[in-house]
Structures are given as C-alpha cells and as structure tokens.
Structure 1
Amino acid sequence: MEKESSKTIIHHNLTNENGSNPDSNESEFQFTQDLSLESIRKLHNKFVTERNWEQYHSPRNIMMAMVGEIGEIAELFQWRNDSDCQVGLHSWTDEQRNALGEELSDVLIYLTRLADRCHIDLPKAVLDKMKKNEEKYPIDKVFGSSKKYNMY
C-alpha cells in the first residue's frame, strides 16, 4: 500500500477509483480492500503515541468517546423521514455523505482502539460471533423473519 497520511485514510472520500459514487448503481456495494483492522490499529496507535495521548486512552475513556461519535451519527439521521434513509442514501448530498463517512470512521477508529486497549482480537471475535449467530439463527427457522432467537 502506498504511504498515505492519517488524514487521507481517516477522511477517505466516498468515491471509487473512477471518481464515481459507489452507490450510483444498484450493484453490490464493497469496501476498499487494502486497509485491515490491524492497519487501522497500527495507524491510530502511531497517531496517539506521537501526541502522547496514551495516558488518556483507558478503555472507559475510549468507550465514552465512541458513544459520543455514535451520537454524532444519530444527529445526521435525526428528523429525517424513512424515504431519506434508504439503502445508498441517494437523497443525501455529497457533503452529507462525507460527514457520515467521517463519523463512521471515528466510530471504527475508536472501536479498534477499544479492542486494542482491552486486548481483544477483533477480527477473531467477529468470526467467533458470526459462528454463534449462525447457530442461534438457523436459516430454516428464521428466513425472512425478524423474530428474536427466543421467539421460535
């Protein structure tokens, strides 16, 4: 991967390699594949260390900061009607979509930092949790249903 600044990665704009919006057609959306959670963890650790902020990064403080960022995401959706919040957010301006991308990035960065500070291997935890979910929600019982696992 080419060297990119923290700002470039953290404030990634919401276009693909062609410069077009990835949601402009109805094909399946995909994330950029050249950035792993481990890369994010290392990038953010370097950012924090360079600023001598480790002293403030207790798991509790990181969790509280992440909740604040989730609140900022909620504000972007607050008071919008359902038609404004359909898959792809086609009615949103580029500026609104970029703002959402920045807030989602903040949450992911804090989530990765929280996992790091708690010594949780987040990719492994995701795989383990998905396995549990597959067992808890068998396709033959839940297909097309929104019922919780204890309702069937």
Structure 2
Amino acid sequence: MTTELEQLAARLREFAKVREWERFHTPKNLAMALAGEVGELVAEFQWLTAEESGDPDPETLARIRTELGDVTLYLVRLADVLGVDLVAAARAKLDDNDRRYDADLYRGSARKAPPAS
C-alpha cells in the first residue's frame, strides 16, 4: 500500500523529471532551498506576539500555509533523493527523544537533555 507521503514523493519526482530538473536537485541544493523556505516561514511569525502566533488572522494563516507547503515539498524531495524514509526517520527520532526526555524529569521544563552518548 502506498502512503500519501510516498505518493507526494512520486509526484515531486515526476514534476522534476518532466522539467529535467533532477540535475539541480542535489542534496546540497535541496537542503539550501529548504533552509530558505524555513526562513520564509519564520518571517511570517517574526513580529507576532505569542498569542497572535497561536491564532493568526486569515491572511497570515494563508501565507503560513503556503510556506508550510513549500517546506514540506523540499523536505520530501530531499528525503526522496537521499532514499530516506521520512516517517521511519521521524519515528526513530521520537523514540530517541522519548528515551532522552523522561516525562517525570522534564515535565514542564524547556531545558535540553544532555547529548546522547
């Protein structure tokens, strides 16, 4: 069974192929483009208060949605080019965080855990 993420990766792969963009979609270029899009997403929040960021006006939310789409597309494309299963990578990271951040020790705290050994 093909997941929605796999379908999105396949669509992006075809999108790049028909435009002959594969040669530009190197991991370095995709990572740089991803960083740029994350910057554009951050810019949408830059001057909002904490309260405003949790309930943006409809126009701001539309721009945020667009930037989230851009970030997602570059992230999925980068993972596809590198052969990384994004869902498996996220699950592994969450498992690692679950081990590193014991709920009893970190509940209500924003402190960082020591580096994994």
The one-letter code sitting in structure 2 at the alignment partner of 1:49 is: K
1:130 match: secondary structure: helix
Give the TM-score normalised by the residue count of structure 2: 0.87
Name the counterpart of 2:105: 141
Structure 1: gaps (5+ residues)? 1-34
Paired with 1:139 and 1:77, the residues of 2 have a C-alpha distance of 29
2:90 match: secondary structure: helix
Task: Give every structure 1 segment of 4 or more consecutive aligned residues whose post-TM-superposition deviation is greater than 4 Å.
Answer: none
Pick the aligned partner of 1:120 from 48, 72, 84: 84
Structure 2: gaps (5+ residues)? none
Residue 81 of structure 1 deviates from its aligned partner by: 2.2
Aligned length: 112
2:80 match: secondary structure: helix
Pick the aligned partner of 2:74 from 71, 93, 110: 110
1:146 match: secondary structure: coil
Over the aligned positions, Cα root-mean-square deviation in angstroms equals 1.4
Pick the aligned partner of 2:19 from 51, 54, 77: 51
Name the counterpart of 1:11: none
Name the counterpart of 2:42: 74
Pick the aligned partner of 2:28 from 48, 56, 60: 60
* Larger fraction in helix: 2
Residue 119 of structure 1 deviates from its aligned partner by: 1.5
Q: Residue 97 in 1 paired to residue 65 in 2?
A: no
Residue 47 of structure 1 deviates from its aligned partner by: 1.1
Give the TM-score normalised by the residue count of structure 1: 0.68
Paired with 2:46 and 2:104, the residues of 1 have a C-alpha distance of 36
- Aligned-residue sequence identity (percent) comes to 35
Deviations 1:44-70 (A, max 9, x none): 111111111111000000011111111
